[in-house]
A and B are shown apart, each in its own frame.
Chain A
Amino acid sequence: MFEARLVQGSLLKKVQEALKDIVQEASWDCTSSGLSLQAMDGSHVSLVQLTLRADGFEKYRCDRNLAMGINMGSMSKILKCAGNDDVITLKAEDTSDRLELMFESPKGEKISNYEMKLMDLDCEQLGIPDQEYSCSIKMPSHEFARICRDLSQIGECVVITCTKDGVQFSAKGDMGSGTVKMSQNLGAEKEDDQVTIEMTEPVQLTFAIKYLNMFTKATSLSGSVCLSMSNDVPLVVEYKVEDMGHIKYFLAPKIED
């Protein structure tokens, strides 16, 4: 038996919105420690990894490890039926091919039950190495979203350059070029407004902006975003999911042919 009850159901709605454009089908892995998911986009350029720890749920029970094959489009449709203030409960029997979703309004006067068919998925899981990065940049998530959106009008690629002075995002295309520089700003009143840069070695990498724009669908989950980079390895874009977990997006760089 698997059962997970989340009082702040809007978090699950936001997580789903942050995943659905990148991943069409994914295996949601349920263990006693929590829910996790790892999936690549269809072109195998990016990978997303979600962790929601068991202790973040008001009630969590998982008697046996379960891999639920989920069509993300269907999951989105059903989660859209939940109100933003609803409590969401997920339930599945160990051998069932269905996931039950229950949405309770805050005062309990409305209870909706949905059932979603699960799929048999043969997902390839990749081992993500735990590594140190040359640069870690924390910045307001809405600023990162804005930069990605703005520069995607200029070109298809963004060059991210991180030095001790700051981080620079540049794009160029047929009509011209654009550059946005963010400098460290430790004086901001709110922690989410701070820009912090930790660097052991300067880094310059080039990425396809369309993937970064998809990652920014997670913006509403967290006030800040962390970018981790080292030369010649995938970029990590991490959003916290309150104090219960995270979504990490990995994006392979463009390399010289």
Chain B
Amino acid sequence: KNKQASIMGFFSKK
């Protein structure tokens, strides 16, 4: 089963 990843897991906070 696939789970939706969050975009925040890929881009760091500025």
Q: Which residues of A contact B (CB under 8 A)?
A: 40, 44-47, 124-129, 157, 206, 208, 233-234, 250-257
State whether A127 touches B14 (Cβ < 8 A).
Answer: yes
User: Contacts of B5 on A, CB cut-off 8 Å?
Assistant: 45, 252-255
Shortest CB distance A19–B (Å): 16
Q: Is the interface of B mostly helix, strand, loop or mixed?
A: mixed
Q: With contacts A124-B13, A126-B13, A127-B12 known, is A250 near B7, CB below 8 A?
A: yes
User: Contacts of B12 on A, CB cut-off 8 Å?
Assistant: 126-127
User: Contacts of A40 on B, CB cut-off 8 Å?
Assistant: 7-8
State whether A254 touches B3 (Cβ < 8 A).
Answer: yes
12 more A-B contacts (CB under 8 A) besides A126-B13, A253-B5?
A40-B7, A44-B6, A44-B7, A45-B6, A126-B12, A129-B11, A157-B2, A206-B2, A208-B4, A234-B11, A252-B10, A254-B2
State whether A127 touches B13 (Cβ < 8 A).
Answer: yes
How many residues of chain B get a CB closer than 8 Å to chain A's CBs?
14
User: Contacts of B1 on A, CB cut-off 8 Å?
Assistant: 256-257
User: Contacts of A44 on B, CB cut-off 8 Å?
Assistant: 6-8
User: Contacts of B11 on A, CB cut-off 8 Å?
Assistant: 47, 126-129, 234, 250
User: Contacts of B13 on A, CB cut-off 8 Å?
Assistant: 124-127
Shortest CB distance B14–A (Å): 4
Cα–Cα distance between A76 and B8 once the two chains are bound (Å): 27
* A/B interface sample: 17 pairs, CB < 8 A: A40-B7, A40-B8, A44-B8, A126-B7, A126-B14, A127-B11, A127-B14, A128-B11, A157-B2, A250-B10, A250-B11, A251-B7, A252-B5, A252-B10, A254-B2, A254-B5, A256-B2
User: Contacts of B3 on A, CB cut-off 8 Å?
Assistant: 254-257
State whether A255 touches B2 (Cβ < 8 A).
Answer: yes
User: Contacts of A125 on B, CB cut-off 8 Å?
Assistant: 13-14
State whether B2 touches A126 (Cβ < 8 A).
Answer: no
State whether A45 touches B4 (Cβ < 8 A).
Answer: yes
